[in-house]
Amino acid sequence: MIIARKDRKDQTVGAHEKKHELPPGTLRNPDGRATRSDKKIGTVRKEGEKAIKK
The residue range of the domain holding 43 is: 13-53
Domain count across the chain: 1
Beta bridge partners of 40: 12
Query: Do the domain assignments include residue 4?
Result: no
Q: Maximum CA pair distance of the chain?
A: 35
Query: Do the domain assignments include residue 2?
Result: no
pTM above 0.85, yes or no: no
Query: Do the domain assignments include residue 1?
Result: no
Query: Do the domain assignments include residue 21?
Result: yes
Query: Do the domain assignments include residue 26?
Result: yes
- The answer to whether residues 44 and 38 touch, using CB atoms and an 8 Å cutoff, is no
Say what the pLDDT of residue 24 is.
Answer: 92
Q: Which residues of the chain have pLDDT under 70?
A: none
Query: Do the domain assignments include residue 48?
Result: yes
Say what the pLDDT of residue 21 is.
Answer: 94
Sign of CA dihedral 26, 14, 38, 3: positive
